[in-house]
Copies of this chain bind each other. A is one copy, B any other.
Amino acid sequence: MSVNKKELIRTAAIEVIATKGFYRSTTDSIAAAAGVSVGTIYNYFKNKDEILEYIFQTELAHRAAIFAELKDLTVPSLEKLQLFLEAHFTEIKANPLVGQILVRERQVGHDALDGVRAFVEGIPQKIASLLQLSIEAGEIKPCNPLIISAAIFGAVEAVVRIAVFTVDPEERNRLLDQAPVELVNFISSGLAK
């Protein structure tokens, strides 16, 4: 029951924060959206920041799980990257509100929020490791993985941003379908030997 309640609050917080932004979202409004009282929030989260952390942590965990699955696959590293991006976009499509938060609240509070930082730095790191493997395997031409992985993630997030703030659901889904293809194509050719 208690696990469900934390989830309940997380879900409600996503709606509120995606709509109003983190700093403009009050704990009261999150509580109201969750159908609990403010006090209850503090039984599951140490403070308001931790709610946002938890949202990012949850998403990072999802992405990490995807990476873990991909790790054992016997396909070229570059293809793993493509598969990851597709999975990423699929999740965004399933929950665009989370997408809004991921691209908007990333820098909240001095980067002092560990969960947020872990996400923002963690994804590019994983991409970087794939790139490194890909370079070593001679699949792609040499590059600075730190810079290029950041660039890739930045490109991805920018496209997510466009899609996610598109209000018309039909158009948004079209973008989210088309984007990974365009993106992967753009990235792949860029990395082509």
Spell out A's residues near B (CB within 8 Å).
20-21, 23-24, 78, 103-105, 107-111, 124, 131, 134, 138-141, 143-144, 146-148, 150-159, 161-162, 165, 175, 178-179, 182-183, 185-193
A141–B191 contact, CB under 8 A?
A: yes
A143–B107 contact, CB under 8 A?
A: no
A109 CA to B105 CA in the complex, in Å? 11
Which DSSP category, helix, strand, loop or mixed, fits chain A's interface? helix
CB nearest to A153 among chain B residues: B158
B154–A157 contact, CB under 8 A?
A: yes
Closest beta carbon of chain B to A104's beta carbon, Å: 4
A131: chain B residues at CB < 8 Å are: 191
B24–A109 contact, CB under 8 A?
A: yes
